[in-house]
Amino acid sequence: MPAPAPDQPLKLPALLRLRIALYRGLLVLWARCFSLTGLYRLGQVFGTLEYLCDYNRRRRVHAKLRELFKEEYTPAWGRKVAWRYFMRIRCDKYYYTIMDRIPREKVLKRIRMINRHFIDDALSEGNGVYVALCHYGSHHVAGLMMGLMGYELTGVRDAKESPVRRYIQQKYKETFPEIGRIRVMHANSFPRELYRRFQENGMVCSLLDADRRRGETTRTYPVTIFGEQRNFLTGPLQIALRCGARVVQGFVVSRPKFYYQLVVAPPLVEAGHRGDESETVAAVLQQYAHGVERFARERPDHLMNI
């Protein structure tokens, strides 16, 4: 069965909607009684319990850490990183689930965008900007925050998006008009919309480090990362180059007590670049891979949900 359109209203079973509403209500009540700091502490507690009880996911996290860091991995280090991973995931989920119930000024105070000028300068040039993300950090939180900061962005995501997450995104749109201006595309959809967004001087965000094919038309290119060769996606990058957009690399850092850093690295490609496309793609993807590896070594607990 084909995936529903990303912006199509989602209808969930009544029982599931009731469970989500109850869950959100309990989190909001806790935050109002004990503040957001208290909610963060609750997330740490439940994240620790999940770490202790969820053997299968804990095993997958350790397997991923061993795969990435190889001989650098030690059991003691792995346990520490895995524990921090479970706590971060649980806290980020709590915040994401009720962010529409938090006053706008509180949300904006918890965002720090580092090197914001790289994006603002690109948008002032009129060719749009492409933000290359990776499978580290909570991008669903960052995307909503950037929407509240006034950026009109287009996100490219996998078609297998959680219906619960899509339901919560609908709630955001009802609370914050800015969120309604965020456009979402499926990764396997026709790229005409991406061309249009760059031509409209828009911002496009997607993850390139997806080492699997999403369809027969998916294009990839081999890079070296963590001492191994892997295939990264090239489609959005090629479209950005053809439209003359600036290409930057972005990272999302989850800090204690629901504070977040949106880090924009120096441009991988300046706006209006006119070099050989194949050579540029190869050089940019390898530089991007170095950035991903560097960030993963600095914050190994920022693996995405496993």
Which residue's structure tokens are 């990058």?
237
pLDDT at residue 167 in the model: 81
Query: Cβ contacts of residue 167 below 8 Å, gap of 6+?
Result: 10, 12, 17, 20
Q: What is the pLDDT of residues 129-185, one digit of tens each?
A: 999 999 999 888 888 888 888 888 888 877 666 777 778 888 888 888 888 888 888
Contact assessment for residue 24 and residue 95, using Cβ atoms and an 8 Å cutoff: no
Find which of 6-15, 38-47, 188-197 is predicted with most confidence, using mean pLDDT.
Answer: 38-47
pTM exceeds 0.85: yes
Mean pLDDT of 285-289: 96
CA angle 161, 129, 110 (to 5 degrees): 65
Q: What is the pLDDT of residues 22-55, one digit of tens each?
A: 999 999 999 999 999 999 999 999 999 999 999 9
Mean pLDDT of 210-238: 82
d(CA 232, CA 219): 8
pLDDT at residue 10 in the model: 63
pLDDT at residue 112 in the model: 92
Q: What is the pLDDT of residues 195-211, one digit of tens each?
A: 999 999 999 999 998 75
Per-residue confidence band for 8, with pLDDT thresholds at 50, 70 and 90: low
